[in-house]
């Protein structure tokens, strides 16, 4: 049997540049005495991300949630938006803050993204958009979603918080849909401590988003729309510029970790790896497994608790479903019977420790613990069976 880890193994650690690199860049900011409002570092990060992500237009925000909230606002949407219940609360909360009604659509059992085959039946005359989430970096069925959106004249927005730098068939993931949101939160692969961005194709939105994130101020004495304050500041931008230099190296480390997890978990009955379905480019954001209680012999919740005894802290991403939030209980689409796949999957997913500094021996050890737990369990099940038989 494996022993417990001496130090707690957490699900992630922020990707941090060296303090020295950050301080030398910060001195530029100090000298400029310009610390927010589209400063030099902000402009640099915007242009570097534009080429890194290979996008036409990008707008930076103080966090991903406000990016999505204001991105939806910029599209002048009204009515209902078809979305997924299997996501982080921010996705649907951004709809709430725009006075938009979420219509929950069930998810695909393989990728856990919105099930595009079930979208059409949810469309009403009030539907204005589809908001998909590239869950754990697994891309939504972007082609099918585009076909539906074109047919019914709907906008398509993607929450790409997990898909920094990912591609679909060689194309940047943000080239699909009208708009994609990225989160640069500390827990995301690329971070600016807190931060986010929108990428989009419509040039007209550049100015509108600039207004929306800065109180609608068109000039010192001219307010043209009701905006918010959602600007990224110079300190965030400095962190971003430094993190961007090391993100490729982090990807490579996570690639190795991913392979070790895959090799050591593949043969354990009841364990399915969810984050190996990307078409041609992993996001390396999470490493997520699904536990089939019937085959493994114990539930996801049980493994989650058992692992804590070994000082390993996993997370139930995403749990609970957004459709189960109490303020959506009046929605027909939030009913249990409307979301059979999501209701099943939400009980099975478990996000494993995953960050570049996690050493490969620890990864092997975590896999062995999961295997040992299965085997010891098997013993008990067989004993039980014997007792029942005799």
Ligand X SMILES: *Cc1c(COP(=O)(O)O)cnc(C)c1O
CA–CA dist 326, 305 (Å, integer): 26
**Least separation, in Å, of the C-beta of 66 and ligand X?**
7
Shortest distance, CB of residue 386 to ligand X, whole angstroms?
Answer: 46
Give the residue with the Cβ less far from ligand X, 284 or 296: 284
Which position among 25, 42, 73, 162 is part of the footprint of ligand X (CB under 6 A)?
162
Binding region for ligand X (CB under 6 A) out of 86-94, 122-130, 138-146, 339-347: 86-94
- Of 39 and 132, the one with the shorter C-beta distance to ligand X is 132
Question: Residue 98 or residue 297: which is nearer to ligand X going by CB?
Answer: 98
Distance CA 180, CA 214 (A): 20
* Nearest distance from C-beta of residue 183 to ligand X, angstroms: 3
Residues between 112 and 141 with contacts to ligand X, criterion CB under 6 A: 133
Q: Smallest distance from the beta carbon of 385 to ligand X, in angstroms? A: 42
Which residue shows structure tokens 């941090």? 16
CB-wise, 339 or 369, nearer to ligand X?
Answer: 339
Distances (CA, A) of 308 to 4, 7, 301, 347, 364: 9, 12, 11, 18, 17
Whole-angstrom distance, CA of residue 192 vs CA of residue 184: 5
Closest CA to 251 of 348, 354, 152, 181: 354
- Based on the shown chain and the rule CB under 6 A, indicate whether residue 90 belongs to the binding site for ligand X: yes
Binding characters for ligand X, 35-64, by CB under 6 A (x = yes): ----------------------------xx
Question: What are residue 156's DSSP bridge partners?
Answer: 130
User: Can you tell me the distance from the alpha carbon of 223 to that of 225, in angstroms, rounded to the nearest whole number?
Assistant: 6
Q: For residue 65, state whether it binds ligand X (rule: CB under 6 A).
A: yes
Can residue 87 be called a binding residue for ligand X (CB under 6 A)? yes
Distance set, CA 351 to CA 57, 289, 301, 319 (Å): 32, 6, 12, 11
Q: Which residues contact residue 365 at a Cβ distance below 8 angstroms, ignoring those fewer than 6 apart?
A: 2, 5
Residue 196 is a binding residue for ligand X (CB under 6 A): yes
Residues near ligand X (CB under 6 A) are 63-65, 87-88, 90-91, 133, 159, 161-162, 183, 185, 196
């Amino acid at each position: 049997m494996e022993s417990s880890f001496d130090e707690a193994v957490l699900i992630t650690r922020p990707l941090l540049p060296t303090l020295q690199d950050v301080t030398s860049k910060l001195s530029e900011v100090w000298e400029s005495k310009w610390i927010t409002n589209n400063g030099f570092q902000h402009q640099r990060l915007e242009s570097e991300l534009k080429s890194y992500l290979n996008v036409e237009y990008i707008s930076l925000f103080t966090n991903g949630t406000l990016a999505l909230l204001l991105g939806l606002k910029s599209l002048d949407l009204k009515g209902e938006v078809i979305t997924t219940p299997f996501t982080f609360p921010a996705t649907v909360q951004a709809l709430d803050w725009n006075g938009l009604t979420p219509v929950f659509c069930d998810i695909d059992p393989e990728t856990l993204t919105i099930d595009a085959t079930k979208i059409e039946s949810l469309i009403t005359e009030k539907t204005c958009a589809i908001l998909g989430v590239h869950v754990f970096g697994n891309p939504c069925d972007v082609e099918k979603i585009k076909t539906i959106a074109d047919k019914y004249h709907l906008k398509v927005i993607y929450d790409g918080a997990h898909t920094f730098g990912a591609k679909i068939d060689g194309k940047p993931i943000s080239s699909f849909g009208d708009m994609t949101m990225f989160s640069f939160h500390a827990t995301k692969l690329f971070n600016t401590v807190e931060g986010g961005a929108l990428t989009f194709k419509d040039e007209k939105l550049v100015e509108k988003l600039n207004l929306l994130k800065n109180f609608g101020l068109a000039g010192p004495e001219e307010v043209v729309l009701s905006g918010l304050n959602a600007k990224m500041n110079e300190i965030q931008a400095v962190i971003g510029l430094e993190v961007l230099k090391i993100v490729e190296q982090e990807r490579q480390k996570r690639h190795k970790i991913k392979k070790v997890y895959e090799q050591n978990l593949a043969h354990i009955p009841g364990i399915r790896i969810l984050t190996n379905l990307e078409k041609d480019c992993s996001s390396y954001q999470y490493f997520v497994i699904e536990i089939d209680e019937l085959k493994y012999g114990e539930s996801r919740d049980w493994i989650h608790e058992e692992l804590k005894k070994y000082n390993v802290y996993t997370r139930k991403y995403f749990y609970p479903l957004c459709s189960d939030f109490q303020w959506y209980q009046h929605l027909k689409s939030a009913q249990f019977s409307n979301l059979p796949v999501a209701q099943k999957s939400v009980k099975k997913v478990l996000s494993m420790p995953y960050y570049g500094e996690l050493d490969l021996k620890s990864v092997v050890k975590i896999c062995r613990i999961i295997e040992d737990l299965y085997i010891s369990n098997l013993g008990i099940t067989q004993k039980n069976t014997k007792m029942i038989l005799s």
